[in-house]
Structure 1
Amino acid sequence: MDTRQALLVDAFAAEPTAGTPTGVVPEADGLTEDQMRAVASELGAPETAFVLPADDADRRLRCFSPTGELDQAETAAVGAHAALYERGAVDAAEWTVATTGGEVAVETKQNGMVWVEQGRADVTEVDIPYDDVADALGLDEATLKDVGADLPLATADAGEPWLLIPINYFEHLSSLTVDEGAVASLCDRADAAGVYPFTFDTVGGDATRRSTLHGRAFRTGSRTEDPVSATASGACAAFVRRYGALDDTIEQVLVEGGHFRDRPGTVSVDTDGTEVWVGGRGVTALDGTVTVPAGDDDDIIEA
């Protein structure tokens, strides 16, 4: 039977069991799409990257959730390249990576950081009453209006649209009581994939700089909060940069997330308010093998 190395890499984290768990199959050449789907479902990570050779790029990534293929998967790209760099399979360099959604640029740094081109952020203000948003999140309207004078409710789309909801203080962000049905209604009205309440009130930062934002990602149709969302973090950073809410001395935006899932992580974002790059570290939490089902059979996979 065909077996492949399979990793679980915690993306946007420097320690295991933090950040977002990400599947990586470093040598996926020869696997069919059905086999990739089966392996991704077995690994169960939000995103799994299958690393493949490419004729017109440095490598190809096909990325799957447990239910289907993804056009854009920055988390999987970070996890895959962090694992490849950790094992000496790639050096610190700039790479072109072919994906289902098109070619993206990736850069691996000597310090272990991986930067991925997210693309252009489109920001659109939305006209949704504060009381509807407050009810969906279990908040008082004042927690939203306090910052609403400077930052409106808006969707930001850097590959996936998120409804961005500025909140005044961390204590209010930490005490959310999310109504899934009401969140789904908000997302339907805003044409968004999820809601991203955030605050400038943060937990901390790394050894050299303080965090800029703390956000929580609630995807419509999901019963659980995303640990660390690269797409929402990048979109939110572009939004606050575009509206002039950041000090000019802040060169890179450091976005915290995952603390309320006990999987804290940080996404570094480089943006001028329009173009977005997201960066982070990754650490391998599990290194093993997966048995791949033959052809289109429905055999059980053993990991």
Structure 2
Amino acid sequence: MKQIPVYHIDAFTNVSFGGNPAGVIPNAEALTEEEMQKIANELNLPESAFLLPSSHPNADFKVKYFTPLEEINFCGHATIGLSWLLATKYNWLNKADQIVFETNVGLIPVTWIKENNQLMSVSMTQVTPKVEEIEINKDTLAQLVGIQSTDLDERYPIKLGYTGNRHLLVPVKTRRAIDLAEPQLKKLGSMNREHHISTTHLFTFDTNGEFDIYTRDFAPGIGIDEDPVTGAANGALAGYLVLEGILSNKEPHQLKIGQGHAIGRPGILYVTIGSKKNEPVIKVAGSAVITIEGKINI
């Protein structure tokens, strides 16, 4: 019997039971992919991250991500949770200024944000963002995500955003409409699978000054009815805002994004939009809390 250390880490929060829970398995080199999938299913968290050795010359480790249903190419909140664990439990905070993960979509550098030598948050640089067109009937989409057609914010386009996974970005007029959304999960999941979409991401600028943007994320197509606080989707959203000209690409931006409040798991993401060689550079930062630690028997 193998005993594998396992952690339950809440990301994008500084209190237990908030933010987005991730399974983190830091010594996964002895596991098969089938075992990883079974562990992710057993943990039944939105995503689980498995840390492996990397042969890439510029990476410290390789990471594989699984939902309870399938492997996915990238997960933001699980990367935040994994990085927090390595910084605090495995002393990487004192070993190096950053850590680099090899993922299915490329290299993801993570840096430490410290005050008085204390870790405050971790910041991951996502892969270069992209947007894609999608042909979809707005009335049908509104019905699928459980809002009224009149709740859609016509000032902004409905597009697919990407920083590792494809996210359907849906602009909504009010936070209230987002909070009251009751998606048709089975039908939404089928639509997402048909278009190879990981999540459907609702967003609004209507926040009463509490945040810059408020979001909510549904991912039934990959086995997650609702993903509480999503680093990948909000990174894709940030890229979309610049690529679509909603935010200027001539200057950097700092965004505070709130998510998870509608389901009692409030979290905050801090997103920086910069540029390099005329392409947007998206950095998503947040804190985390190790809520449960133990061992799983294989």
TM value normalised by structure 1: 0.82
Is the 1:138–1:177 contact (alpha carbons within 8 Å) kept by the matching residues of 2? yes
Determine the C-alpha separation between the residues in 1 that align with 2:161 and 2:173: 19
Map of 1:45 onto structure 2:
45
1:188 CA drift (Å): 6.2
1:80 CA drift (Å): 0.7
Map of 1:154 onto structure 2:
159
Spell out, residue by residue over 1:250-300, the C-alpha distance to the aligned partner (whole angstroms, 9 max, x if none). Answer: 722222111122111122222247332222111101011222x2xxxxxxx
State the AA in 2 paired with 1:285. T
Map of 1:75 onto structure 2:
77
Map of 2:204 onto structure 1:
199
Spell out, residue by residue over 1:64-100, the C-alpha distance to the aligned partner (whole angstroms, 9 max, x if none). Answer: 2233433222222211110121225211612222234
1:11 CA drift (Å): 1.1
Q: Establish whether residue 132 from structure 1 lines up as the match of residue 133 from structure 2.
A: no
Q: Establish whether residue 141 from structure 1 lines up as the match of residue 149 from structure 2.
A: yes
State the AA in 2 paired with 1:20. N
Q: Structure 1 pair 129/51, CA: closer, same or farther in 2 (3 Å)?
A: closer
Is the 2:268–2:286 contact (alpha carbons within 8 Å) kept by the matching residues of 1? yes
Among candidates 284, 291, 295, match of residue 285 of structure 1: 291
Q: Establish whether residue 103 from structure 1 lines up as the match of residue 107 from structure 2.
A: yes
Determine the C-alpha separation between the residues in 2 that align with 1:124 and 1:197: 17
Is the 1:163–1:190 contact (alpha carbons within 8 Å) kept by the matching residues of 2? no
Determine the C-alpha separation between the residues in 2 that align with 1:189 and 1:4: 36
Spell out, residue by residue over 1:182-229, the C-alpha distance to the aligned partner (whole angstroms, 9 max, x if none). Answer: 53465467653332121112276xxxxx52111111124357211112
Q: Structure 1 pair 130/64, CA: closer, same or farther in 2 (3 Å)?
A: closer
Q: Structure 1 pair 238/263, CA: closer, same or farther in 2 (3 Å)?
A: same
Is the 1:198–1:214 contact (alpha carbons within 8 Å) kept by the matching residues of 2? yes
Determine the C-alpha separation between the residues in 2 that align with 1:48 and 1:42: 10
Mapping for residues 1-303 of structure 1, pairs under 5 Å: 1-55=1-55, 56=57, 57-91=59-93, 93-110=97-114, 111-144=119-152, 147-148=153-154, 150-184=155-189, 187=192, 191-202=196-207, 210-221=210-221, 222=223, 224-246=225-247, 251-272=253-274, 274-291=280-297, 293=298
Residue 227 of structure 2 aligns to a residue whose secondary structure is: coil
Instruction: Report the more deviating stretch, 194-203 or 74-83.
Output: 194-203
Determine the C-alpha separation between the residues in 1 that align with 2:243 and 2:4: 44
Spell out, residue by residue over 1:145-178, the C-alpha distance to the aligned partner (whole angstroms, 9 max, x if none). Answer: xx31x31111112221122111111112122132
Q: Which structure has greater strand proportion?
A: 2
Residue 295 of structure 2 aligns to a residue whose secondary structure is: strand
Spell out, residue by residue over 1:110-168, the C-alpha distance to the aligned partner (whole angstroms, 9 max, x if none). Answer: 23312222212221343433322333234333322xx31x3111111222112211111
Structure with larger Rg: 1
Determine the C-alpha separation between the residues in 2 that align with 1:189 and 1:31: 31
1:36 CA drift (Å): 2.8
| Structure 2 stretches lacking a partner, 5+ long | none
Aligned residues: CA RMSD? 2.6
State the AA in 2 paired with 1:81. S
Instruction: Report the more deviating stretch, 103-112 or 225-234.
Output: 103-112
Determine the C-alpha separation between the residues in 2 that align with 1:140 and 1:51: 42
State the AA in 2 paired with 1:31. L
Q: Structure 1 pair 32/195, CA: closer, same or farther in 2 (3 Å)?
A: closer
Determine the C-alpha separation between the residues in 2 that align with 1:82 and 1:76: 10
Is the 2:106–2:127 contact (alpha carbons within 8 Å) kept by the matching residues of 1? no
Spell out, residue by residue over 1:15-56, the C-alpha distance to the aligned partner (whole angstroms, 9 max, x if none). Answer: 110111111122334333333333333222222222233343
Q: Structure 1 pair 54/180, CA: closer, same or farther in 2 (3 Å)?
A: closer
TM value normalised by structure 2: 0.83
Is the 2:65–2:75 contact (alpha carbons within 8 Å) kept by the matching residues of 1? yes
State the AA in 1 paired with 2:235. G
Map of 1:301 onto structure 2:
none
Residue 23 of structure 2 aligns to a residue whose secondary structure is: strand
| Structure 1 stretches lacking a partner, 5+ long | 205-209, 294-303
Determine the C-alpha separation between the residues in 1 that align with 2:87 and 2:110: 12
Is the 1:155–1:190 contact (alpha carbons within 8 Å) kept by the matching residues of 2? no
